A = this chain, B = another copy of it.
Amino acid sequence: MVPRYSRPLMVAIWQDLNRYRIWFEIEALAAEAMVATGDVPAEAAAAIRTHGGAAIAAMTEADVTKIADIEAVTRHDVIAFLTWLAEPIGPDSRFVHLGMTSSDVLDTCLAVQLTQATDLLLQGIDAVMAALKKRALEHKLTPTIGRSHGIHAEPTSFGLKLAGHYAEFARNRARLLTARTEIATCAISGAVGTFAHLDPRIEAHVAAHLGLAVEPVSTQIIPRDRHAAYFCTLAVIASGIERLATEIRHLQRSEVREAEEFFHPGQKGSSAMPHKRNPVLSENLTGLARIVRGYALPALENVALWHERDISHSSVERVIAPDATITLDFALNRLAGMIDKLTIYPDRMTENLESLGGVVHSGEILLLLARSGISREDSYKIIQRNAMATWTTLGHPDAKRFRDHLLADPEVAGRITPEAIDTAMNPNLHLARIDTIFERVFQE
């Protein structure tokens, strides 16, 4: 976790205080459930809730240190916490954690933390979607050149570009909801998942109060395929961030200049070159995406634990659970702000669109020629010939535009009228169905 790439809200979820609060809640809920199963006297459960709850509410960093000191001896984090908790609760503390195993607490706590983190991530996606939608509607009919292979293809609208990213983030949102369901389970099933010393009603009670589902079959732990699926989902979302960031980086290139990240007053782009305004946010997002992707791998390797569990997943999760969610949370919010404030240059889009002498309309001309009765093969050759002639003289003082090359070509001249060519070369032709697509995207 690098403070530079962290938001406090997400960081707080992964701090010791939050973790201990959740641990306590699990223990208190379990004790309360055990009253019903006859394992714990009602007074004891009440004492746990009252005295333990008070201690937790008053918990400070000093307590965190105290627990760490106990752990240095016991070498066991949950036992250290329970030892600390025993003091305020007193003799009834022997009813805390009764028949439970550490993983009952640890894994259920991780589920709660991950759902809290996911809820923040969903807000981040919502912010990205809101920014994309706003700018997409704003530029719904702003013509711009579409590019495949980095080469001008056919006109499109800038809003449509953004709509595509919006749709991707809508998918990412749905994926994240699914991933949230994956990891939102509770297991209070004992040392090897048999409920030997624990009535399943305890699990059900704790799950219900924490907003979790019951894990149908746990071993000692909640199975890690759930977490692997979760972190893979974060990796997919990160890749979507990179796709959008890459688009902006391209648009801001000096030769393109169709969009530009907001440049703050006082900002310096380069210590050596005062003229620079760099797409540093997008580049940063590209790097953050790589980081989040990297965390999917250890999560996948965590699945094949030995027998009823080994603890190799634990160190991995201590690192990647905070780091992946904190980084992605930061990236989503940075992205939302960047899109929201993006400077967009429609004039420059038009300029670029027209910069290749009109060859970008070759597809429409191909259809015209084909309709005139020439075979597809021959039409293609004729148009390719004229397009290349246009292309290779771009920038020459006496360069002809594609339209003029075509009209001068005897195989074209007799078959297509100048008016037909002009119609075919109207960029608005390409905007006719933007509405239809926008309805698909934004009304779902």
Say yes or no: B276 contacts A167, CB within 8 Å: no
Task: Let me know if A66 is at the binding interface, CB within 8 A.
Answer: no
Known contacts A232-B232, A297-B290; A310/B148 CB under 8 A: yes
Question: Which residues of the partner chain B approach A254 to less than 8 Å between Cβ atoms?
Answer: 145, 147, 150-152, 352, 355-356
CA gap between A431 and B193 in the complex, in Å:
11
A82 CB–B CB distance under 8 Å: yes
- Out of B240, B327, B387, which one reaches A275, CB within 8 Å? B387
- Encode A82-124 as 1/0 by CB contact (under 8 A) with B: 1100100001011011111110000000000000000000000
Is A419 an interface residue, CB under 8 A from the partner? no
A376 touches B93 (CB 8 A): yes
Alpha-carbon gap, A289 to B309, bound state (A): 18
User: Of B79, B218, B363, B395, which one neighbours A191 at CB under 8 angstroms?
Assistant: B363
Question: What are the interface flags for A1-36 relative to B under an 8 Å C-beta threshold, 1 for contact and 0 otherwise?
Answer: 110110000000000000000000000000000000
Contact A283 B297, beta carbon cutoff 8 Å: no
- In the assembled complex, the Cα of A321 lies from the Cα of B73 at a distance in Å of 32
Q: Is the CB of B287 within 8 A of A313?
A: yes
Chain B residues with Cβ below 8 Å from A304 are 239, 242-243, 245-246, 286, 289
Q: Which residues of B contact A207 (CB under 8 A)?
A: none
A190 within 8 A of B: yes
Say whether A305 faces chain B, with CB atoms less than 8 Å apart.
Answer: yes
Counting from the closest, the 6 A-B pairs by CB-CB distance are A146-B192, A275-B387, A287-B315, A149-B278, A239-B303, A290-B298
| Among B172, B190, B194, B289, contact of A272 (Cβ-Cβ < 8 Å) | B190
Say yes or no: B300 contacts A293, CB within 8 Å: yes
Taken together as a complex, chains A and B put the C-alpha atoms of A310 and B286 apart, in Å, by 10
Point out the residues of chain B lying under 8 angstroms from A91, CB to CB: 375
> Assuming A168-B223, A376-B93, A377-B83, is B196 touching A232 (CB within 8 A)?
no
Q: Which residues of B contact A191 (CB under 8 A)?
A: 146, 148, 153-154, 270, 272-273, 363
Contacts of A275 in B (CB 8 A): 356, 359-360, 362, 383-384, 387-388, 390-391, 402
A236 touches B300 (CB 8 A): yes
Q: Is A362 touching B273 in the complex (CB atoms < 8 A)? A: yes
Could you say how many copies of this chain the assembly holds?
4
Check A272 against B363 for contact (C-beta < 8 Å): yes
> Could you give, for residues 296-327 of chain A, a 1 whenever the CB lies within 8 Å of some chain B CB and a 0 otherwise?
11101111111111111111101110010001
Partner among B101, B193, B296, B309 whose Cβ is within 8 Å of the Cβ of A232: B296
Question: How many residues in A have their beta carbons less than 8 Å from beta carbons of B?
Answer: 175
Q: Does A212 make an interface contact (CB < 8 A)?
A: no
For residue A429, CB closer than 8 A to chain B, the reply is yes
Q: In the complex, which of the residues B161, B290, B311 contacts A316, with contact meaning CB atoms closer than 8 Å?
A: B290
The dominant DSSP class at the A interface is helix
Report the bound CA distance from A256 to B387 in whole Å. 18
Residue of B nearest to A103 (CB): B148
- A272 and B310 contact, Cβ closer than 8 Å, known pairs A191-B154, A217-B441, A296-B232: no
Is A444 located at the chain interface by the 8 A CB criterion?
yes
Cβ–Cβ contact B268 & A366, under 8 A: no
* Residue with the greatest number of chain B CB neighbours at <10 A, chosen from A194, A247, A288, A431: A194
Asked if B307 contacts A287 (CB within 8 A), the reply is: no
Expressed in whole angstroms, the Cα–Cα distance for A391 and B218 within the complex equals 28
Q: B residues within 8 A CB of A182?
A: 171
CB neighbours (8 Å) of A268 from chain B are 74-76, 79, 380, 384
> A229 on the interface (CB 8 Å rule)?
yes
Is A219 interfacial (CB 8 A cutoff)? yes
Contacts of A288 in B (CB 8 A): 315
CB pairs A–B below 8 angstroms (6 shown) = A148-B192, A161-B308, A225-B240, A275-B402, A286-B310, A287-B316
